[in-house]
Amino acid sequence: MSRAILQVMIRGRVQGVGYRAWVEYQATASGLEGWVRNRRDGSVEALFAGPPKLVADMVALCRHGPPSSHVDNVTSETASADELNLRRAGEVFSVLPTV
């Protein structure tokens, strides 16, 4: 089975609106691995790993976000399996501290 790993940057009104919790819920419900975190520049960064279709669907969801958010831009790039090591030990999907 093939596997995709994408690192995603989301910009807009995405902090202080429950965006990270929403990403965690959506990714977990989709069976994806990865993490999400705020960045000091006001963006949200996430990494999704799993079947290519599910990863692509998650990136598409990120373009809309939860109702209280306003997404201006979403970019993604291929990431390595090493990036998954940022997750907390024992977690499939983690909400990480701000960087």
In a domain, 54, yes or no: yes
Catalytic site residue from 3, 13, 37, 38: 38
For the chain, give the mean pLDDT. 96
The backbone torsions φ and ψ at residue 56, rounded to the nearest 5 degrees and listed phi first, read -60, -40
State the Cα–Cα distance between residues 31 and 55, nearest whole angstrom: 10
- Structural domain of 46: 4-80
In a domain, 27, yes or no: yes
Q: 37-59, pLDDT tens digit by residue?
A: 999 999 999 999 999 999 999 99
In a domain, 90, yes or no: no
In a domain, 99, yes or no: no
The answer to whether residue 13 is catalytic is no
Provide the residue type at 70 as one letter: H
Catalytic site residue from 20, 39, 40, 88: 20
The answer to whether residue 73 is catalytic is no
pLDDT of residue 1 exceeding 70: no
Q: 67-79, pLDDT tens digit by residue?
A: 999 999 999 999 9
| The pLDDT of residue 98 | 97
In a domain, 93, yes or no: no
In a domain, 95, yes or no: no
Q: Which CATH number do you get for residue 37?
A: 3.30.70.100
The total domain count for the chain is 1
In a domain, 72, yes or no: yes
